[in-house]
A and B are shown apart, each in its own frame.
Chain A
C-alpha cells in the first residue's frame, strides 16, 4: 500500500509498505525522533512530527498516467478553461494549451499545509496511533 505521510511542517512524502505493521513501525520511529529532537535521517536534517496518513492502493502519482479522459469530460473542462481565460472576447492559445495539459496533473493546484497534495481520493485516512 502507498501511504502519503503528512508532516507537521507541511512536508509530504509517499512511502510503500507491505503491511499496516510495517507502516506504523516506520511512522512511530520517525515521530518519536521528532519529539526527541533527533535527526531525521543520514543527511542530518531534523525529524518531523507526523499528523496524518493518507492510504492508497496505487501510487497517487498514477491518477492519469496515460493522460486520457472521456471526450465529454474534456469538452466540459475545455469550456471552463476557455471561459476563465477569455478577456475581451479573446483567448491566448498557449494559456489554453497549458490549462489543458494541467488536466492530466495528479496533484492539486494548491495544497494547504496538512492537506494531501494529490487529486486521487485516499482509500483510508489515519490520524492517530503513532504518538506514544
Chain B
C-alpha cells in the first residue's frame, strides 16, 4: 500500500516545531477525505509531495469523490487530541529500527456515509487523505495512503478508514 507525506507535514516540522512559526501552524482540527486519485509511485498522474486538492483532473492533483454530487459524502473529523475525543489519535509507539524506525500513531477508525442513490459523483475512492477543513477539493493535504482496492459506493454503504502515521 503506497503512502506519502505531503510538503505541509514536513513544513510543520521545520517551521512550526523547530521555528515556532505563527503562520505555518496546524489546523483547528483534522479531517479525512477520500479521493479518486492514487498515491501510486511517483508517476505523472500519481501524487507528488506538492500535490494539491483540485476539481481539475490533471497531473498530480488530488481529486475528491463527491465533489459534483455528494450523495452522503462529507469529510470526517479526527480531533487534535490523544485518547480523549470520540475520534482522535491513539498513544504513539516507537520503532527503534535504524533504517525504517520512528514514532507511530494510529487514529480511531473514521466512518464515511451512509451514501445514497447511486453513490457520490465522482465515485470510486482509491486513496484517503489526512487534510483540513470541510470544503471539498480544498485545504492542505498532510499525508495519504492508497485504499486496498477501489471503493465504489452505493445506497446504504458506509466506509471505514484507519489512518496511521509513522514519523521517521
Contacts and interface: CB of A to CB of B under 8 A. Distances in A.
Contacts of B79: 105, 107, 117
Task: Assign chain A's interface to a size class.
Answer: 35 or more
A31 to B, nearest CB: 9
Given A15-B72, A16-B73, A107 B29 contact: yes
Interface in B32-87: 66, 70-77, 79-81, 84-87
Interface string B137-168: 00000000000110111011111100000000
Interface residues of B, number: 44
Interface string A85-103: 0000000000000000110
B110 interface: yes
A119 B66 CA distance: 26
Interface of B: 26-29, 31, 66, 70-77, 79-81, 84-88, 109-117, 133-134, 148-149, 151-153, 155-160
Given A13-B76, A42-B149, 12 more contacts: A5-B111, A14-B74, A17-B71, A17-B116, A22-B117, A25-B116, A26-B72, A29-B116, A42-B152, A105-B29, A106-B77, A117-B86
